[in-house]
Chain A
Amino acid sequence: MTDIRADISYSDNKEAGFSDYIALLKPRVMSLVVFTALVGLIVAPGALHPIEALAAIIFIALGGGASGALNMWWDADIDSVMKRTAKRPVPAGKIDAREAMSLGFALSGISVIMLWLATNALAGALLAFTIFFYAVIYTMWLKRATPQNIVIGGAAGAFPPMIGWVAVTGSISIEACLMFMLIFMWTPPHFWALALFMKSDYHKANVPMLTVTHGRKATRTHILVYTVALIPFALAAGFTSIGGPVYLALALVLNAMFLQGAWAIWRRSESQAEADGYAVEKRVFRFSLAYLFLHFGAFLVEAALSRVTVYADFAAMFKILELF
């Protein structure tokens, strides 16, 4: 007799759904990548065909997702220890770590080659370097080796607007470098403000976080120092082709507010922070999100205004021609 009874005791909660594969690509990180890359692409001089621009954004985002998958493959041991990350698809047992690795490598190859074909070789090379930087330099090497891991990891998040710019122009310019530096210098104070009020369990996973290795007072000092170092880059962008009076006015206000917040964090003692439930740290963290969004939003506004100006010049010229 043949037994064809269906075995429904199969560990059905462990098999991944489509959403688990999406989660493997870190969609929240992807959204920031898409936004900043799109700004880089729009503010760059020149223009891509809309389909090329769409493809560029999709493949830059896919490259970011690929590095997220590689990160989850390599960090599965850390993720399973920490409460915040224990439900990620690999530590939750839904996706095998080797499958995450394969997907990460496959998507890396596809995204780099497709970005190259859709735009140019330099953009593809920069995307490849970004994935390498995030997956190898940050995830495999420095994340577990130094408390400055956030600073180095920030570079990977800073590349997308530069890639967007290069996709259009084919070259790296001062504007692309300043957009890079804006995110690169913004990342440490943003994450350390979060680290101050999020009682994380990084120590359980043996990941050196500044708050643990150097203490919370040193972290407050680092936030202030990096915020001061960030300001010149944020303001300098206002004097380049992507800036202008609107950007500069907004940047002045935003940087003054960020500096004031960083100063307030630096002045506080741990007992003061605990007394009010880390109100200042939480406020500065939320503000830092708006800070970055508004800076890049201002780049978009300047780009729109410059196109209106060009249009106005064209319209004026057109009227002069009409006189003849």
Chain B
Amino acid sequence: MAITREHELHKRRSGRNVGLAVVLVAFIALVFGLTIAKVQSGASLQAYDHSYRPALDPDNVRFPQR
């Protein structure tokens, strides 16, 4: 018997591996989608982008008077 012969057992293992791969890819896609959704639904993000922006400096932020 040739050693390359594919046994039913190999098919079952292959099915298990493919199944696990699909689950992992789906999980990654879901976490990525969740990240995008969370970022989109949050407040707008700003940061210093290489140059000083006075509007973002806490010392310059004026809070409205009550």
Contacts and interface: CB of A to CB of B under 8 A. Distances in A.
Q: Do A and B bind each other?
A: yes
B59 to A, nearest CB: 34
Given A4-B3, A6-B1, A54-B30, A16 B16 contact: yes
Interface centre among A5, A10, A18, A50 (most CB of B within 10 A): A18
A8 B12 contact: no
B34 A55 contact: yes
Interface residues on A, range: 20 to 34
B36 A17 contact: no
Contact of A118 (B1, B13, B34, B40): B34
- The main secondary structure of chain A at its interface with chain B is helix
B1 A17 contact: no
Contact of B20 (A6, A8, A18): A18
A52 interface: yes
Interface string A1-42: 000111010101001111001000000000000000000000
A49 interface: yes
A51 interface: yes
Interface in B3-37: 3, 5, 7-9, 12-13, 15-16, 18-20, 30, 33-34, 36-37
B33 A51 contact: yes
Given A8-B7, A12-B8, A12-B9, A52 B16 contact: no
A52 B15 contact: no
B25 to A, nearest CB: 14
Interface in A206-232: none
Interface of A: 4-6, 8, 10, 12, 15-18, 21, 49-52, 54-55, 58, 117-118
